[in-house]
């Protein structure tokens, strides 16, 4: 039998008082949701993203939760499909009564879900990149940790020029970001005396050889691949069979290690990829590495880690666990100076002590414009060599 002495009782009481927002959880739970692609084109990322959020919430609940309440997480599958995503979002909002939905991945899903969120005062955090998303009349009800396609397109154009391209060909399915990506690739390419053409293809076709032959007739020195993993896999096979000998540049989320391992090395060898880079070497990045058990966690998992940290701290600093509370307070913990923190545990302690916090996380600084875009980030440049994604640089 354990006997509590007066001294140990005093120590325990002092510990509780030192962390009032972390301890003595009582009352109804706080409901949060993830809406990630557990299946479909985004399937390689969604499960890891959802599990990362679960791990953060489990840690917070282990010391008492937020605002004296446990946090309950519900994870749904958007199937990388806007219709399925909309159904899942309705469940999260109408049945689970979540204060925030985190992690929407495909831009088409985010575009479908966002109006439902702002109409119901449910805060939305996303890793989608289409420029059109933050142009929606969301009135501050969403933020994204992914750079928009204005920034991404410019980086692609600049890198294509750096790779020596003069005649580029952009092959992509019709997505909410295709035209914006093209529009922002053009200026650096054309400023360097180059040109770029666009071919839109049907991502559901089992063969894209006709489209590849059309691209080949243009004699491009670089083909830029703008699709998701399933259709890019089809496209790469047909490009290889057509005997193309120029350079290939793709999104790192589509030409990922899982896809590379599923194809013969000759098909993927030499492909250049580009992606927003996590903040490697930061405390937040190291925490995500430990959570996922991987020394190279993908950028989306790093971003959703930051999203759940920000959501929980926003509720704490505003003393309000509703979507409105997150809406009103998320920038209070993400920017504007204060004690630098890279995790919710340190953030909640600082908030409980009356300190202002400024969160920099696993994906980098989380400073947002009025429209909800991050202001800057680094990019990771890789090349497939010997069946492995090989880092060229981060800049």
One pLDDT digit (tens) per residue for the chain, 395 residues: 333 334 434 334 343 334 444 444 468 999 999 999 999 999 999 999 999 999 999 999 999 999 999 999 999 999 999 999 999 999 999 999 999 999 999 999 999 999 999 999 999 999 999 999 999 999 999 999 999 999 999 999 999 999 999 999 999 999 988 999 999 999 999 999 999 999 999 999 999 999 999 999 999 999 999 999 999 999 999 999 999 999 999 999 999 999 999 999 999 999 999 999 999 999 999 999 999 999 999 999 999 999 999 999 999 999 999 999 999 999 999 999 999 999 999 999 999 999 999 999 999 999 999 999 998 889 999 999 999 999 999 99
Q: How far is CA 277 from CA 55, 58, 311, in A?
A: 22, 26, 22
Q: Does 141 lie in the same domain as 287?
A: yes
Cα 179 to Cα 172: distance, rounded to the nearest angstrom? 10
The whole-number pLDDT of residue 368 equals 96
The whole-number pLDDT of residue 284 equals 97
Dihedrals phi, psi of 380, to nearest 5 degrees: -110, 130
Q: Look up residue 92 and give its two tokens.
A: 């999260």
Q: Does 287 lie in the same domain as 336?
A: yes
Which residues, 6 or more positions from 298, have their beta carbon under 8 angstroms from its beta carbon?
Answer: 45, 48, 253, 256
Count Cβ atoms within 10 A of the Cβ of residue 216 and give its class: 0-12 exposed, 13-18 middle, 19 or more buried.
middle
Burial 53-90 (b: 16+ CB within 10 A, else e): bebbbeebbeebbbbebbbbbbbbbbbbbbebbbebbe
Helix ranges, the chain (H) = 6-18, 46-62, 82-94, 107-119, 131-134, 149-162, 178-191, 209-217, 229-241, 257-262, 265-268, 283-292, 299-318, 323-334, 344-352
Q: How far is CA 72 from CA 18, 32, 41, 61, 340, in A?
A: 24, 6, 27, 9, 27
Q: Does 131 lie in the same domain as 21?
A: yes
Cβ proximity of 42 and 109 under 8 Å: no
Q: Does 387 lie in the same domain as 248?
A: yes
Other CB atoms within a 10 A radius of the CB of residue 204 amount to 9
Q: Does 387 lie in the same domain as 358?
A: no
DSSP string, 159-217: HHHHTT-SEEEEEEE--TTHHHHHHHHHHHHHHTT-EEEEEEE-TT-S--HHHHHHHHH
Whether 53 maps to a domain, the answer reads yes
The whole-number pLDDT of residue 26 equals 65
Q: Which helix (H) or strand (E) holds 35?
A: strand 30-36
Q: Does 289 lie in the same domain as 338?
A: yes
Whether 9 maps to a domain, the answer reads no
Cα 41 to Cα 255: distance, rounded to the nearest angstrom? 12
Whether 371 maps to a domain, the answer reads no
Cβ proximity of 98 and 32 under 8 Å: yes
The whole-number pLDDT of residue 198 equals 97
Question: 222-225 and 247-251 as β-strands: parallel, antiparallel, unpaired?
Answer: parallel
Whether 370 maps to a domain, the answer reads no
Q: Does 138 lie in the same domain as 160?
A: no
The whole-number pLDDT of residue 6 equals 40
Whether 269 maps to a domain, the answer reads yes
Q: Does 201 lie in the same domain as 89?
A: no
HSE-up of residue 327 (Cα within 13 Å, Cβ side): 16
Q: Does 161 lie in the same domain as 144?
A: no
Q: Does 389 lie in the same domain as 257?
A: yes
- Domain harbouring 300, CATH code: 3.40.50.2300
Q: Look up residue 122 and give its two tokens.
A: 């449910």
Cα 128 to Cα 7: distance, rounded to the nearest angstrom? 53
Cβ proximity of 173 and 201 under 8 Å: yes
Cβ proximity of 98 and 92 under 8 Å: yes
Cα 47 to Cα 246: distance, rounded to the nearest angstrom? 35
Structural domains counted in the chain = 2
The DSSP 8-state label assigned to residue 295 in this structure reads: S
The whole-number pLDDT of residue 27 equals 83
HSE-up of residue 326 (Cα within 13 Å, Cβ side): 28
Q: Does 141 lie in the same domain as 270?
A: no
The CA R_g of the chain, rounded to the nearest whole Å, is 23
Q: Look up residue 99 and give its two tokens.
A: 């204060």
The whole-number pLDDT of residue 119 equals 98
Whether 55 maps to a domain, the answer reads yes
The DSSP 8-state label assigned to residue 15 in this structure reads: H
HSE-up of residue 64 (Cα within 13 Å, Cβ side): 19
The whole-number pLDDT of residue 12 equals 40
Q: Which domain holds residue 174?
A: 149-276+378-394
Q: Does 272 lie in the same domain as 242?
A: yes
Count Cβ atoms within 10 A of the Cβ of residue 1 and give its class: 0-12 exposed, 13-18 middle, 19 or more buried.
exposed
Whether 64 maps to a domain, the answer reads yes
Whether 3 maps to a domain, the answer reads no
């Amino acid at each position: 039998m354990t006997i509590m002495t007066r001294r140990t009782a005093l120590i325990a009481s002092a510990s509780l008082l030192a962390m009032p927002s972390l301890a003595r959880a009582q009352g109804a739970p706080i409901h949060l949701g993830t809406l990630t692609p557990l299946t479909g084109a985004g399937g390689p990322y969604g499960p890891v993203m959802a599990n990362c959020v679960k791990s953060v919430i489990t840690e917070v609940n282990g010391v008492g939760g937020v605002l004296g309440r446990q946090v309950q997480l519900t994870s749904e599958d958007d199937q990388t499909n806007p219709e399925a995503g909309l159904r899942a979002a309705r469940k999260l909002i109408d049945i689970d009564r979540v204060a925030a939905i985190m992690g929407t991945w495909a831009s088409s899903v985010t575009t479908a879900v966002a109006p439902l969120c702002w109409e119901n005062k449910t805060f939305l955090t996303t890793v989608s990149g289409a420029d059109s998303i933050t142009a929606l009349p969301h009135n501050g009800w969403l933020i994204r940790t992914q750079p928009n396609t204005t920034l991404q397109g410019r980086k692609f154009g600049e890198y294509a020029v750096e790779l020596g391209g003069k005649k580029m060909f952009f092959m992509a399915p019709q997505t909410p970001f295709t035209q914006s990506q093209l529009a922002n690739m053009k200026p650096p390419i054309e400023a360097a005396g180059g040109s770029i053409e666009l071919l839109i293809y049907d991502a559901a076709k089992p063969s894209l050889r006709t489209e590849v032959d059309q691209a080949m007739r243009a004699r491009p020195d670089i083909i830029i691949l703008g699709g998701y993993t399933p259709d890019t896999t089809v496209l790469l096979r047909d490009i290889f069979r057509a005997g193309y000998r120029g350079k290939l540049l793709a999104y790192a989320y589509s030409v990922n290690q899982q896809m590379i391992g599923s194809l013969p090395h000759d098909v993927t060898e030499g492909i250049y990829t580009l992606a927003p880079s996590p903040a490697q070497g930061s405390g937040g990045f190291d925490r995500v590495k430990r959570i996922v058990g991987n020394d190279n966690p993908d950028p989306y998992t790093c971003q959703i880690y930051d999203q759940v940290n920000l959501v929980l701290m926003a509720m704490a600093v505003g003393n309000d666990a509703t979507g409105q509370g997150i809406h009103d307070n998320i920038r209070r913990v993400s920017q504007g100076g204060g004690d630098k923190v890279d995790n919710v545990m340190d953030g909640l302690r600082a908030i409980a002590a009356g300190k202002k916090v400024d969160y920099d996380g696993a994906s980098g600084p989380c400073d947002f414009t009025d429209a909800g875009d991050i202001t800057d980030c680094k990019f990771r440049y890789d090349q497939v060599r010997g069946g492995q994604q090989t880092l060229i640089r981060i800049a």
